[in-house]
Amino acid sequence: MSKFEDLLKQCKRQNPQAMLKLYNICCQPVYNACLHIVMNEFDAEEIMQDSILKAFSMLDKFLGTQKDFIAFVKKIAVNRSIDWYRKHSKEPFFKEIENETDTISDDMEEESYPVEKIIEKMELLPDGYKMVLKLHLLDELDFVDIAEIMNIKASTVRSQYVRGLEKLRKSISL
């Protein structure tokens, strides 16, 4: 039995120390995923805590690795964050785009920029672009998962990603 499996077993028995360890394992990546969407620390922390509590209530059904558990909690958190965003924002995430194919040009030069500059410029993008870029690049969700979470077409997510990436590239090189 792995350390994580043992930790899960202890959590299922409601061991407070084990639950705190499991909380500490997943709280930072889950918080970051929430913050990328709701864009304020207070709400991100609240959503993160609610998501972890929901995951804890479903531990009996969970079988998997530590990485799987973090992904499981992040998915709960992303869904709750998007629900929060929809409830509190007047702007829709995306506009549906029919039959458009955006592609990333292969002939673009590879340039290196400081991460701080990229993140700073990413924060200036429209919410839809920013959210897709963060969910895909930072939270490592694929387009199909993002589309499912946001209840839109995967082609719309890809289009928003490509357009957001292009806007980000242009703003960085200015």
Domains of the chain, earliest start first: 3-88 (1.10.1740.10), 115-173 (1.10.10.10)
C-beta separation of 77 from 51 below 8 A? yes
pTM of the model: 0.70
| pLDDT tens-digit series, residues 50-97 | 999 999 999 988 888 999 999 899 989 998 998 898 888 766 555 544
Please give the backbone phi and psi of residue 112, each rounded to the nearest 5 degrees, phi first: -115, 130
Q: Which residues have CB under 8 Å from 106's CB, separation 6+?
A: none
